[in-house]
Structure 1
């Protein structure tokens, strides 16, 4: 694996350093863990397809787009009430 450099404001670098120190790790490993913890849109879509297939094949549940939209709206409302994303 080759290395590269990313530029961030000094405040961000200092915060990353503090977080890494608290976790007894390096900024490099912390950034890697953060990047790997968040799935891409394509990964989320693939996981959704897999989940829908499990519901259909394992439980006989057929979901339509409206069901999926309602589920997304529900979880957005939960996040909004809990202050997530602030």
Structure 2
């Protein structure tokens, strides 16, 4: 397998390397694992449909159908949770860093 260089911001490279190290893996091994496990939108949609069918069979209720009462409870809980953490985001903002660093994956 040949190596490739992917240009990403240095912060992205550092974050990926940090996550890989925390998993006890090299960056190359972690990226290989990611590539093996990440799903395309079509694959996720297929899995969601299979899951919906299983839940429909188990419960007799279509989880994709709107339930006004359940939707209201969920909306209230989301509102309560986010109101106590107004600036919370599990994701850092994406920046277009013109000084991107190369991410070269080697064994």
TM range (shorter): 0.5 to 0.7
Structure 1: which 5+ residue stretches go unaligned? none
Return the structure number with greater strand share. 2
Normalising by structure 2, report the TM-score: 0.48
2:52 and 2:63 in contact (8 A); partners too:
yes
Deviation, 1:63, is: 4.5
Deviation, 1:30, is: 1.9
Q: Which has the higher contact order (CA 8 A, sep 6+)?
A: 2
| Per-residue deviation, residues 55-80 of structure 1 (Å, max 9, x unmatched) | 2333322345435xx77xx49x38x7
Deviation, 1:35, is: 4.3
Aligned to 1:43: 43
Greater CA radius of gyration, 1 or 2?
A: 2
Structure 2: which 5+ residue stretches go unaligned? 92-107
Distance 1:41 1:85, change over 3 A: farther
Return the structure number with greater helix share. 1
Q: How many residues align?
A: 80
RMSD: 3.5
**Alpha-carbon distance in 1 for matches of 2:15, 2:64:** 44
